[in-house]
Each structure stands twice: as C-alpha cells, then as structure tokens.
Amino acid sequence: MAGTTQTTAHEHWGSRLAFVLAAVGSAVGLGNVWKFPYITGENGGGAFVVVYLACIALIGLPILIAEILLGRRGRMSPINAVSATARREGRSPAWAGVGLLGMAGSFVILSFYSVIAGWALAYVGRTATGTFAGADAATVKAAFDALKASPWQLVLWHTAFMALTAVVVGRGVRHGLERAAKILMPGLALLLVILIGYAATTSGFSAGVDFLFTPDFSKLSTHSVLIALGHAFFTLSLGMGIMIAYGSYLAPGTSIAGTALSVVVLDTVIALMAGTAIFPVVFANGLEPAVGPGLIFQTLPLAFGSMPGGALFGALFFLLLTFAAWTSTISLLEPTVEWLQERGQGRWPATIKAAVTIWALGVASALSFNVWSGYTVFGQNLFGALDFLTANVMLPLTGLGVALFVGWGMSTASASEELGLGETLGFRLWHLAIRFVAPVAVVVVFVYNLL
Ligand code: PFF
C-alpha cells in the first residue's frame, strides 16, 4: 500500500510502526523532559503527578483517539478535515473553526518551542567540551543565565532549529523522519536509564522519588489542576490539529485505538523517567525544584559534571533531546504546511513561508528573556504568556471542540466505523469519555479557574 495516495498532497505512512513512531516522535519532546519536571516542581510534586496522570487517561487518551479518527476520516489538513467531515455528517461547516484554532495553536507553540529547543542544541557543545566538569551549582546556573541573557545566542540557536525543522518538513513526511525516529527514541530512553542510574547513587534519590511519587494533596491548588490538564494536551500534542494531520496520512484499516494507547504509554513513561532522573539531582545539590523553565539546564549539567564520562553522556543526552524536540517541531509545522498546500502552494514554498513567519514570532520570544524582559503580559514575559495562553487556554478549548464534534456532531455509526471496534466495551467506554467525561472535565477546570 505504500505510496497509494488519495490526493496529491496525501501520502500514507509506510507502515503502522511508522505512524506510531511519528506520533510518538511528536508527543515525546521538550514537554516530557523539560516541561513536565519543571511544572511538577512548581506545583508541589506527587499530587500534581496524580492529577496529570488522571488527565492523560480520562481526557488525553480519548481525545487522541478522536483526533486521529477525525484526520483519517477527513483525509485533509485539520481545518479541511473537520469541515469535510461536518458536511458529510450534515453538520455546519463552521465546525472548521475547531481546526483553525488548533492550527493557530501549533503556529504559536512552534515559535517559542524552537527557542527552547535551541537551548538544548546549545548545550550539546557545552557539555561535549567539558564546560561543566566538576562545576558546582552556582557555576552551572551562571552559565545558563548567560545564555538566556544573550539575545544573539538565543536568536542564533532558534534560527538553526527552525532551519532544521523546515528542511525535513520541506522534503515530505516519509524521507528521513521515519528512519530517524526509530533509532533516536530508543536512544533517548536508554540515556534516561543511565541518568536514573546516576541519580540512584546521589544522596537525593529517596527525596527525589518521594517528591515525584508521594502525593501530598495539600500542596495542590485549582490552578495546578489547570496546568496539569494543559500539560496533558501539550505532551500528547493534542488540541493543535497535529494528530488530525498525522491521522490524515494513516492507512485505512490500521487500529487507531491500539496506536493511540502505545503513544500515551510511551509518552508517560518517558516523562516519569525524566522526573526520576532530575529530582534526585535537585535535592542532592540543595537546589529548588521550583526554578521554572531552567530546571533541566541547571540540574543535569551537575550530574554530567560529576560522573565518569560525563562530557560524552551529557553531549549525547542533549543531542537526543534535540532530536526529540526536532520530531516535535516537525509535527508542529506540518498542519500549517499541509493547509497551505491545499490552497495550491508547492510543498517548499509553503514550508518556507510558514517557517519564516513562525521564526519571526520566535525571535520576539527569544528577546523576551533579555532585552524585552521588561515587557510583561499578565506578569510574565512574552515567552511565558504565549506558553500559558496556548497550553492552558487554546489547547484545551480546541480539545473541547474536538470532543464535542466527534462525540455529538458525528453519528455513533460513523465513529464506530472509523475506529473499527464495532460496539465493543472498549468502544462504549471511549464514546462515554469523549461525549461526557472529557468535555465536562475541561469545562469544570476552566470555570473553576475563572472564579
Ligand atoms: N508534545 C510535544 C512535547 O511534549 O514536547 C510538544 C508538542 C509537539 C506540542 C507538537 C504540540 C505539538 F503539536
């Protein structure tokens, strides 16, 4: 079936494994290794993890299934897939607004995500050259602060990262990406195991593991619940149209539910592994778990600086983190490019236009760490504000739209036909989750946070 296309813009994945890898590649990224640990640190640890896991199981998984289903049924970019399906179901084409909001989300996220991915890239060279050998916490922090303070360095690394992303997206989905993901994802997991092994030798191991896995609900606020919900969307690449776009390339007959489950399990395992590697180092060195976005850049170099072969492992780790981020940025660029293609543009011109526009917005985020740090929106720099707006507002809202459309707008018969599960218990549970649990949960969390 390889190569059978329905429209010129629509390739199929080479195999089910290829789709799983690409979807896992999109899901596993900075969200798992960079963001999950620092928001867990900021939100008090174990209790936050419990809420996050509940959000993943009750809301994330059902919506992931719904997005892939929608993409495969519509066979187009998020906006057009939703409007085509709506028409087919006799519903208003205005549902396409859900796809539009999602695409806007992927556009904005990519702009600042690429800046952080640039940090990972910058740290490959820094660790390889032994910058952190024997360094103490203050030195490591100073090095990180210096990077953030330099507009030129941030813009340079961000530019490099956007270029890497555009090159792959311009070439199409099949070439290179599938093959790379097969090697890189297991590599990242292996290095995390090595880091956990190191963490186990530090004096902070039990404190770190306790922090992550022993829930203390008194530390949890309703705001933390919103953050956990937003992160469930962010880490699974939901609410952005990505999984709709990826689903549109999925061959008929492939099990959507089974695929989605593998993505969720792998994504969650990698996030928990990252937390287990990081918090012991935090506690062993008397660091604060709640330092925010700089957490891994201020803790992991300490681990690498004091372990044998640390320069090598450190460089490899940041290289793999870069690759993990890369498979995610590629997925973030895809919906916009696919949509421009459907409007008649060639793949390369579409890629370049989208990439340059997103790059420009990213420059503003990069500068918000230094020269523009004085400009704040709701008390945060531009980077923080865009992160909050996308993860905690736009993604859940798009997710709500997807749940309502697939749960209520589409007939049960169409949904069950596309999933190929018949009327099994699994199907019924999913349908219940998508019609009631997910929408109600998203609305409740929102309303609570407005009050
Ligand atoms: N899921 C990715 C991560 O956890 O790093 C980030 C991401 C990729 C978010 C793609 C959104 C997206 F569409």
Give residue limits of the domains in the chain: 16-450
What atom in ligand 1 is closest to the CA of residue 113?
6
Output the CA 1–ligand 1 centroid distance in Å.
Answer: 29
Closest listed residue to residue 243, CA positions, set 19, 85, 23:
23
How confident is residue 30, by pLDDT bands cut at 50, 70 and 90? very high
The structure's pTM equals 0.90
Output the CA 207–ligand 1 centroid distance in Å.
Answer: 29
CA-closest residue to ligand 1 atom 9: 237
Q: Is the pLDDT of residue 14 over 80?
A: no
Output the CA 120–ligand 1 centroid distance in Å.
Answer: 15
How confident is residue 412, by pLDDT bands cut at 50, 70 and 90? very high
CA-closest residue to ligand 1 atom 11: 237
What atom in ligand 1 is closest to the CA of residue 27?
1
The CATH code of the domain at 16-450 is 1.10.4160
Mean pLDDT of the region 154-161: 97
At 49, give phi and psi (nearest 5°): -60, -40
How confident is residue 3, by pLDDT bands cut at 50, 70 and 90? very low
Specify the pLDDT at position 180: 67
Output the CA 133–ligand 1 centroid distance in Å.
Answer: 32
Specify the pLDDT at position 6: 38
Specify the pLDDT at position 2: 35
pLDDT in tens, 236-251: 999 988 898 888 888 8
Pocket test for ligand 1, best of 35, 116, 234 (most atoms within 8 A of CB): 234
3-state secondary structure of 377: strand
Mean pLDDT of the region 95-119: 93
Q: Please list every protein residue whose CB sits less than 6 Å from any atom of ligand 1.
A: 26-27, 29-32, 106, 109, 234-235, 237, 240, 242, 328, 331-332
Pocket test for ligand 1, best of 56, 188, 235, 390 (most atoms within 8 A of CB): 235
Output the CA 13–ligand 1 centroid distance in Å.
Answer: 20
Cα(329)–Cα(326) distance, integer angstroms: 5
Percent over 90 (pLDDT), the chain: 65
What atom in ligand 1 is closest to the CA of residue 241?
13
Specify the pLDDT at position 186: 85
Output the CA 423–ligand 1 centroid distance in Å.
Answer: 32
Output the CA 103–ligand 1 centroid distance in Å.
Answer: 13
Pocket test for ligand 1, best of 237, 246, 395 (most atoms within 8 A of CB): 237
CA distances from 316 to 120, 223, 249, 319 (A): 11, 36, 32, 5
Query: Which residues make Cβ contacts (< 8 Å) with residue 279, sequence separation at least 6?
Result: 37, 41, 199, 204, 207, 208, 209, 211, 212, 289
Do 190 and 403 meet the contact criterion of CB atoms below 8 Å apart? Answer: no
Specify the pLDDT at position 370: 93
What atom in ligand 1 is closest to the CA of residue 395?
11
Output the CA 242–ligand 1 centroid distance in Å.
Answer: 9
What atom in ligand 1 is closest to the CA of residue 235?
4
Mean pLDDT of the region 37-56: 95
**Average pLDDT score over the chain:** 90
CA-closest residue to ligand 1 atom 7: 237
Pocket test for ligand 1, best of 35, 161, 332, 398 (most atoms within 8 A of CB): 332
The residue that leads in pLDDT, 172 or 405, is 405
Cα(123)–Cα(110) distance, integer angstroms: 20
Specify the pLDDT at position 118: 97
How confident is residue 11, by pLDDT bands cut at 50, 70 and 90? low
Specify the pLDDT at position 7: 40
CA distances from 409 to 85, 320, 412, 429 (A): 9, 41, 9, 18
Output the CA 342–ligand 1 centroid distance in Å.
Answer: 24
Pull the structure tokens for residue 365. 């985020």
Specify the pLDDT at position 173: 63
Specify the pLDDT at position 174: 64
Number of CB atoms found within 10 A of residue 222's CB: 11
Output the CA 22–ligand 1 centroid distance in Å.
Answer: 12
92: left (phi over 0), alpha (psi -120 to 50) or beta: beta
Mean pLDDT of the region 132-148: 93
Q: Is the pLDDT of residue 283 over 60?
A: yes
Q: Is the pLDDT of residue 48 over 70?
A: yes
How confident is residue 448, by pLDDT bands cut at 50, 70 and 90? confident
